[in-house]
Chain A
Amino acid sequence: MNIWQRMASWRGLIGWLILVTLLALYPYTGLSGSQLFTLSQVFVLVTLASNWNLIGGMTGYVDFGHAVFFGIGAYTMGILVTPVEMAFSPHLTFWQALPFAGITAALFALVIGLPTLRLKGPYFSIAMLGTFVAMREIIRIAAPITGGGKGLDLPPVLDRISDYYFTLALMGFVVAFIWWIRRSEFGATLIAIREDEVGAEMRGINTTQHKIIAFVTAAFFTGLVGGFWAWQNTYIDPDVVFIESRTVEMVMMSMLGGLGTVWGPPLGAVVLYFMRDILWANLLDYHLISLGVLLIVLVLFMPEGILGTLGDRSSTSLLHLWRRERHPSPSNQDSGGNT
């Protein structure tokens, strides 16, 4: 790898940091509260999609219940800050409670991941889906702490500009972090697991350890996002927090952009948000139908997502990139059909 290539390989991060800086300056052009709020919702989606991509796209373990970590983060925040007197309510501030939202989600991921990540692909997906639904009902039953189906009120403190910077910072960090992981030895191992888990194991890689780390990391950030979401929505109940569509969105965004790529999921998130909001605003009832049809079309006709379809495959598909860097030999030919 010559210096030019090395420089070129940093371009992605530099471009991203410039983008984040521009976004940080954007409010000075006089954005309204609702524009700030819209953007921070997009940032949240980008963060979620990138996180899901870490376990679902890079490691190849399709997590159909990832929103469970969002929910746990949200409930941790809710329980810690609620002004209502429950069986356990320490009345912390947002910043005091936030780390716990991430940590609780990460711990839960560790506990649930140790057994479930041993399962093969589809069984993991189902186990997570089951975990997700079971958790919703467990939260409902644990009414003395969680408020049950009645939900929990959070302090109604709203500040759109700090929300904006918080979500921007979190998104900036998470995407840069994913970018870094993708380039690291660790990321390469994750992809090796995705492509051939048994083979990776035989080469002496501790696959379980790698999977767990990726899973717990993704859960941690998803928990943080959940905690933040609970705060800015000022109210949570099991049906608002644990909605299937949140996982669906994460999957769709990653799929749309390109599974396992760094920039695909963020792009997918933005495009999907855009489409839902503007293009389908006039389709009313039909927009969920189109969403479903879009998913079918995506899988059947462009399984590599926007990036894989639009751009030069080898430059965007993570798989090909990795293959080319590790084995700059004709061996990248036979990886053609794999995605």
Chain B
Amino acid sequence: MDKLLQALLNGLLLGGFYGVMVLGFSIIWGVMGVINLAHGEFLMMGAYMAWALFRAFGLDPFASLVIVMPVMFIVGYLLQRLILNRVIERPHLMALLVTFGISISIANIYKVVYTASPRNVPVSYNGSVELFGLTFPIVKTLVFFVALSMMFILHLFLQRTRLGKSIRAAAQNKNAARIVGIEIDRVYAITAGICIALTGAAGAMLSPTQAIFPFMGAPFTLKAFTITALGGLGRIPGALLGGIILGMTEVLVATFVPGIGTNLGVAVSFVLLVVMLIVRPQGLLSGLRPMEEVE
């Protein structure tokens, strides 16, 4: 029983991280209709930035969010203005190929700059505390709460602010939004900025728990697909739900299947992706915007 509870807790914590990790991917897709295959690489950029700041100034990865997020916002803004903007109106294939090219380039540029050696940020508080008979890994718990607050702030931003409303309007009906005087290009660029900033933040928070290397991005891009397929497109609760389902599945399989559990956990998440796409392309929650409507 304890083991089950502990596994569920680990899955929940992982799921919270997945939730914030996937947001940038899911919103860019939902708002612009661009599937960003370089998603994982932006995560990797954030992680390296946190690592470099830690190495150079001893800056804590959570504190470094203050620097990582604005920088990544600019990266995202420019990305949209210089490249994505040119493919938004074109067939999906073009966006896929362009972001794929970006993904290869970024990963290999990082390899040249930082070499392929794995990096890690050894923060001093990476142990655990025992509470209610359960083990809480400190860093992962922190990540979970920071992730939740980011999602909450983003939710408020989208619902309450003028800019947020413009973004939602642009997502729902581009032409109508244009007619009521929304500068679509600017809204898109800001959306991309926010999304990439979130992705970079997720990467930075990952840096104390995982090995950082130039090619770490691809699995995250795939997981982002799975989570989006589970939770539906462009919605914050969906991202969180999808993330938690994936996180719990992975951890439960890894914990309770002997021998090949971790292997199987990885396979399961992709089988889940294919099955979800085939059976329920609109995601698990009904009432969310089905993926199919986005064109």
Partner of A295, one of B101, B264, B266, B278: B101
- Cβ of A161 within 8 Å of any chain B Cβ, yes or no, is no
The residue in chain B whose Cβ has the minimal distance to the Cβ of A61 is B93
Contacts of A248 in B (CB 8 A): 100, 104
Query: Are B93 and A291 in contact, with the CB atoms below 8 A?
Result: no
B contact residues, range = 35 or more
Confirm or deny: A174 has a beta carbon within 8 angstroms of a beta carbon on chain B: no
* Contact A130-B104, Cβ < 8 Å, known A122-B35, A125-B96: no
A138: chain B residues at CB < 8 Å are 267
A156 contacts the other chain (CB 8 A): no
Minimum distance in angstroms from B108 CB to a CB of chain A: 4
**Interface 9-mer from A11-19, A91-99, A112-120:** A112-120
Question: Is the beta-carbon distance between B273 and A127 smaller than 8 angstroms?
Answer: yes
Contact A141 B109 (CB under 8 A): no
Interface-central residue, A125, A130, A285, A294, by most chain B CB under 10 Å: A130
User: In the complex, which residues of chain A have a beta carbon less than 8 angstroms from the beta carbon of B109?
Assistant: 289
The answer to whether B225 has its CB under 8 Å from any CB of chain A is: yes
Does B28 make an interface contact (CB < 8 A)? no
- List, in ascending order, chain B residues with CB within 8 A of A140's CB: 263
**CB neighbors of A among B100-146 (8 A):** 100-106, 108-109, 111-112
Complex formed: what's the CA distance from A294 to B225 in Å?
25
The B interface is mostly helix, strand or loop, or mixed, namely helix
The answer to whether B271 has its CB under 8 Å from any CB of chain A is: yes
A-B contact count (CB 8 A): 121
Cα of A281 to Cα of B290 in the assembled complex, Å: 47
Query: Which residues on B sit within 8 Å (CB–CB) of A122?
Result: 35, 92, 96
Q: Which residues of A contact B105 (CB under 8 A)?
A: 288-289, 292-293, 296
Report whether B100 and A137 are in contact in the complex, using a CB–CB cutoff of 8 Å: no
Q: Are A295 and B108 in contact (CB under 8 A)?
A: no
**In B75-91, which residues have CB < 8 Å from any A CB?**
83, 86-87, 90-91
Chain A: CB-nearest residue to B259: A141
CB neighbors of A among B217-239 (8 A): 218, 222, 225-226, 229
CA distance A127 to B96 in the complex (A): 14
Give the contacts of B268-285 with A (CB-CB under 8 A).
Answer: 270-271, 273-274, 277-278, 281
In the complex, the answer to whether B35 meets A137 with C-beta atoms within 8 Å is: no
The chain A residue sitting closest to B281, CB to CB, is: A123
Q: Judge if A200 is at the interface, Cβ distance under 8 Å.
A: no
Contact of B101 among A121, A127, A141, A296 (CB under 8 A): A296
B31 adjacent to chain A (CB < 8 Å):
no
CB distance from A244 to the nearest CB of B (A): 7
Residue in A129, A137, A244 whose Cβ sees the most chain B Cβ within 10 Å: A137
Is B218 a contact partner of A130 (Cβ separation < 8 A)? no
Cβ–Cβ < 8 Å partners of A296 in chain B: 83, 98, 101-102, 105
CB closest chain-A residue, reference B274: A130
Tell me whether B260 is interfacial, beta carbon within 8 Å: yes
CA distance A133 to B218 in the complex (A): 11
Are A299 and B98 in contact, CB atoms less than 8 angstroms apart?
yes
Given A137-B266, A299-B87, is A292 in contact with B108 using a C-beta cutoff of 8 Å?
yes
CB within 8 Å for A285 and B111 given contacts A120-B292, A127-B273, A127-B277: yes
| Distance from B202 Cβ to chain A, minimum over Cβ atoms (Å) | 20
CA distance A129 to B291 in the complex (A): 18
Q: Are A299 and B111 in touch, CB under 8 angstroms?
A: no
Query: B270 touches which one: A119, A133, A294, A303 (CB < 8 A)?
Result: A133
Given known pairs A289-B109, A300-B83, the reply for A141 and B94 (CB within 8 Å) is: no
Asked if A314 is at the interface of the complex by the 8 Å CB criterion, the answer is: no
Q: Known contacts A64-B96, A300-B98; can you find 9 more A-B pairs with CB under 8 A? A: A62-B93, A62-B96, A119-B277, A119-B278, A131-B274, A244-B218, A296-B102, A300-B83, A300-B86
A-B CB proximity, top 5 nearest: A295-B101, A292-B105, A292-B104, A137-B267, A134-B270
Q: Could you list some 11 contacts between A and B, CB below 8 A?
A: A62-B92, A126-B229, A129-B222, A133-B222, A134-B267, A137-B270, A244-B218, A251-B100, A296-B83, A299-B98, A300-B98
B interface vs A, CB < 8 Å? Answer: 35, 83, 86-87, 90-94, 96-98, 100-106, 108-109, 111-112, 218, 222, 225-226, 229, 260, 263-264, 266-267, 270-271, 273-274, 277-278, 281, 291-292
Interface residue ranges, A against B (CB under 8 Å): 60, 62, 64, 115-116, 118-123, 125-127, 129-131, 133-134, 137-138, 140-141, 244, 248, 251, 255, 285-286, 288-289, 291-296, 298-300, 303, 339
